[in-house]
Structure 1
Amino acid sequence: MVPKRLRSINDVDAASWDALLAADYPFLCHGFLRALEESGAVCAASGWEPAHRVVEQDGELLALMPLYRKSHSWGEYVFDWQWAEAWERAGQRYYPKYLSAAPFSPVQGPRLIARDPAAAGALLGGLDAELQAGEVSSLHLLFNLGSENDLLQEHGWLQRLGCQFHWYNRGYQCFDDFLAACNSRKRKNFRKERQAIRDQGIEFRWLTGEQSDEAVWRQFYPFYAATYYKRGQEPYLPPEFFILLNRYCQASVRLLFAMQGERPVAGALFLAGGDTLYGRYWGCLEEFDRLHFETCFYQGMERCIAEGLKRFDAGAQGEHKLVRGFEPVLTQSWHKLQPGLHGAVADFLLRERAGVKAYRQEAISYLPFRQATE
C-alpha cells in the first residue's frame, strides 16, 4: 500500500472521507477543510499548502490524515519557534515542515484514521521516507485524542503535553445548578458578572446555521477581525470562509450576537459536534464591562445545558477560565524531527512534560467548586 498525496481535499470523495472519519467532529470533516481551501485561508501562498495523505486499495479509502506543508509556524497553538531558531542557527532549514492539524483550531480530535493497522503504518511509513530524504525538517501532529499514540511511538515520534481548560456539564438542568456546585464566594462573583451585562442593557441572540445567511456573516466578520487587528495582526480567515463554512457544515454552526437594543455590539462563533460545544471566534468593537466572560463562557455553558452537551471547549488560552469552572485538561501533540534536532527536542520534552503535569495538578486547587465539607 502506497500513500497518495492530495493537492486538495476535493481530490478525495467527500462521502468516503467523512465515512472513514466516522465521528461527529466538525474540524476534520470534508466540508470544513473544503471551506478553508476554497476561501484561500489555506494554500501555498498562506503557508498552509494542502498535502493530505490517503491510502486507497481497490477504490476503497483505507486511511487518511489531514496534512499541510508549512512554511512558518503561525496558527498552530503548539509553539516550536525555538526549535526552528536552534535548527537554523545550526545552518539547517526548518521550513518546510509537515503538520497534521485542524488549521487555526486548537481542538482535540482524531488525526490519523485507518481501517486497519497496516494502512496506518503505510501512511506513516511514507512520511518517514520523506523526512529521511530531507524533503521536510520535521513531522508534527497536534491535539490528537490518543488512538494513534501507540503507532506514533513505534515510528519514533515524541509526545508533547499541553494544558487547556474545558467546562463539563455534570447533568445540570440550568445555570443555577452549576452555581449550586460552586462555593458561595464564587457564586456571588458569577452573579455579579452576569448582572453587569444586564445593567448595560445587553441581551443575546443565538442563530443556528439554518438561520444564518450571507448578510449575517458579513455582520459577524468585523467582530472576528477586530480581535486580530487589536493585536496588530491580519485575520487568518477571510469573510468567504464563514459563508462557505455555513454552506458545508450548517448543522454544526451556532452563532451568537450580543445586542444592545437592536444593535449588535459583539459576536461569537461556536461549533457543535458529538457531545461537545466548541467556542471558536469572538470579537467586540467597543469596550463593555464583563462582556467577554458572558459571551464566551456563560452563554456557552447555558447552550451546553440547553442542548444536553457534555463538554464545552472554549479555546486554547486562559487561567481566567479556571476560576469560572473550566477544568484543566492535558492535551497532546506528537513530533518527529531530523536527527540531531530530534534528540535535543526529546530531552526538552521530557522535562516539559513533568512541568505541565505539575501545573495541571496545581491548577485543580483553583477551581470554584464546593468542597465536601461545605
Structure 2
Amino acid sequence: MTETSEITIRAHGDLSGISAGDWDACACPEASGPDAPDGARPSDPFTTYRFLKALEDSGSVGPGTGWQAQYLTAEQGGQMIACAPLYAKSHSQGEYVFDHGWADAYRRAGGRYYPKLQIAVPFTPVAGRRLLTRPGHEQVGRAALVQGAVQIGEQNGLSSLHTTFCTEAEAEAGAEMGLMRRTGQQFHWIDAGYGDFDGFLGALSARKRKNIRKERRTAQSFGGDIVQLTGDDIRPEHWDAVWQFYQDTGARKWGTPYLTRQFFDIAQETLRDDILLIFAMNGGVPVAGAVNFIGASALYGRYWGCMEDHPCLHFELCYYQAIDYALANGLARVEAGAQGEHKLARGYLPVATHSLHWVRDPGFAEAVAQYLRAEGAAVEEDIEILTSYGPFRKGQKEDQE
C-alpha cells in the first residue's frame, strides 16, 4: 500500500475485496452513475466489473495463466475515486501491442524482462479507458494510478509498465507524467449518416460496391440461414458452438486459446445483454459464427470461427452483418479487432490506437523512446497512405449501379 497526498493506493490480488458498485462508478459512470439513465450501456463492457470478474472466475486469468491480477484502487476521503485493471505478466501473450522485440533485447543485454506490469483488458485489443476515474477526479485519479503502478514496479525491481489500448486523452495525460507514448493502428467502420447498407454502398467506388455485393450474395447462398442473437435469445447451448469456433481459431492463431470454456458459461449468466452472436445456421446447427460485444455507440467484433468452409462467409458474418446491426441500432462505428488490411476494401478505415510505457532502466528506456519516435512517424504515414487507398469515391459523383 502506498499513499500519494491524501490518496491511498491499494493493489488487490482479486476482485473480491472491491465492490462492483465502486468499480463501475469509475469504469462506466455513464451506465452506473447516479445520473445514468435506466438501461444505459457502458461505453464498452470490457472494463466493467462483470467482464473482468468473468475472466477471473473462469480461470482465464490468475494462477498459471501469466496474468496475475494486481487491480489498483485509489481512495480519497473514504471513497474510491479511481481504479485500473493491473496485471503482473510473465509473458507477452494476449496483449496485441507487441513488445517481444523489447523483451529479447532486454534479455540479451543481461536484464530480466519478465515479470512486467500491464494495465490492460486481457486478450482484448479494444481501445477504451484504462485509468478509470469517477467523474470530477480525472486528473488526480490518473496521476495516483500511474504513480502507484510505477512505484510497485520500482519497489519490486520489475522491468516495465505498459498501459495498452488507452484513450488518446489518457495517452496525452500519461506523456505529461513522463511515460513514453506509443501509436498503433486498427481498422474501424464509421457511420457517416448512411441510413442503411445501401446508403453505405452508395458512398463507395463502383468497383468496391460491386465487389461487396458479390461477396454478400456468395456468402448468403451458402445453403442455410444467418441469424443475429443477443440477450435472452442467446441460449446456453449456443455457447457450445462458440466454444468450438473459438478453439478452432485459437489453435490456428495462438496455439492455446486464452479463454476457458467456463468463461462462456459465465457470459451466458452475466454478459449476454452485452453480446451479439451472429451465426450461419445449416439445418438448425451453427456452422460458423462471430462473437461481438455491444457498447453505447460501437459494436466490437471479437471472435470468429467455423466448422464448415464457405466462400466469403467470414466477411459476411464479421464485417457486413456487423455493419447491418450497427446501422439498425444507431451505433456510430464497428471496431473489427486487431490488424487486417483486408478490412480496408470493405469500408473499414485505419485509425490510431494508443499505449503508454515506463521502463525502469534509464538506458533501455532511452533506446525504447528512440524506437517509438521512429515507429510513430511510420504509423502516422501508414495511416495516411492507407486512408488514401480506401474504397470510398474520390469524386463528387459516380454512376450508381
Selected match of 1:302 from 305, 315, 324: 324
TM value normalised by structure 1: 0.96
- Please state whether the residue corresponding to 1:78 is helix, strand or coil: coil
1:97 to partner: Cα distance: 0.6
Separation (CA, whole Å) in 2 of partners of 1:199 and 1:125: 56
- Please state whether the residue corresponding to 1:340 is helix, strand or coil: helix
Deviations 1:27-60 (A, max 9, x none): 0000000000000000131000011100113431
- Please state whether the residue corresponding to 1:323 is helix, strand or coil: helix
The reply on whether 1:11 has 2:34 as its aligned counterpart is no
Cross-structure match for 2:35 = none
**CA RMSD across the alignment:** 1.4
TM value normalised by structure 2: 0.90
Contact 1:44 1:50 (8 Å CA) reproduced: no
1:210 to partner: Cα distance: 1.5
Separation (CA, whole Å) in 1 of partners of 2:64 and 2:19: 25
- Please state whether the residue corresponding to 2:389 is helix, strand or coil: coil
Contact 1:56 1:63 (8 Å CA) reproduced: yes
Question: Which deviates the most, 127-136 or 43-52?
Answer: 127-136
Contact 1:10 1:34 (8 Å CA) reproduced: no
Cross-structure match for 1:365 = 388
Contact 1:197 1:291 (8 Å CA) reproduced: yes
Selected match of 2:228 from 188, 201, 206: 206
Contact 1:277 1:311 (8 Å CA) reproduced: yes
Contact 1:5 1:51 (8 Å CA) reproduced: yes
Cross-structure match for 2:294 = 272
- Please state whether the residue corresponding to 1:26 is helix, strand or coil: coil
1:350 to partner: Cα distance: 0.5
Cross-structure match for 1:71 = 90
The reply on whether 1:88 has 2:107 as its aligned counterpart is yes
The one-letter amino acid paired with 1:2 is T
1:277 to partner: Cα distance: 0.2
- Please state whether the residue corresponding to 2:166 is helix, strand or coil: coil
Structure 1: stretches of 5+ with no match in the other structure = none
Identity %: 43
1:232 to partner: Cα distance: 6.5
1:272 to partner: Cα distance: 0.5
Deviations 1:330-363 (A, max 9, x none): 1111101022211100000000000000000000
Selected match of 1:195 from 208, 214, 217: 217
Separation (CA, whole Å) in 1 of partners of 2:300 and 2:150: 33
Deviations 1:297-351 (A, max 9, x none): 0010001011110000011111000011101101111101022211100000000
Cross-structure match for 1:173 = 195
Separation (CA, whole Å) in 2 of partners of 1:33 and 1:271: 14
Selected match of 1:53 from 69, 72, 87: 72
Separation (CA, whole Å) in 2 of partners of 1:297 and 1:312: 8
The one-letter amino acid paired with 1:16 is D
1:18 to partner: Cα distance: 0.7
Contact 2:117 2:153 (8 Å CA) reproduced: no
The one-letter amino acid paired with 1:4 is R
Selected match of 1:160 from 169, 182, 189: 182
Structure 2: stretches of 5+ with no match in the other structure = 1-6, 31-41
What is the correspondence of 1:1-374 to structure 2 with a 5 Å cutoff?
Answer: 1-21=7-27, 22-23=29-30, 24=42, 25-114=44-133, 115-231=137-253, 233-338=255-360, 339-373=362-396, 374=398
The one-letter amino acid paired with 1:11 is G
Separation (CA, whole Å) in 1 of partners of 2:153 and 2:286: 49
Contact 1:197 1:289 (8 Å CA) reproduced: yes
Question: Which deviates the most, 170-179 or 145-154?
Answer: 145-154
The one-letter amino acid paired with 1:292 is H
Separation (CA, whole Å) in 2 of partners of 1:265 and 1:142: 34
Deviations 1:134-161 (A, max 9, x none): 4311000011112323431233211111
1:113–1:361: structure 2 CA closer, same or farther, 3 Å change rule? same
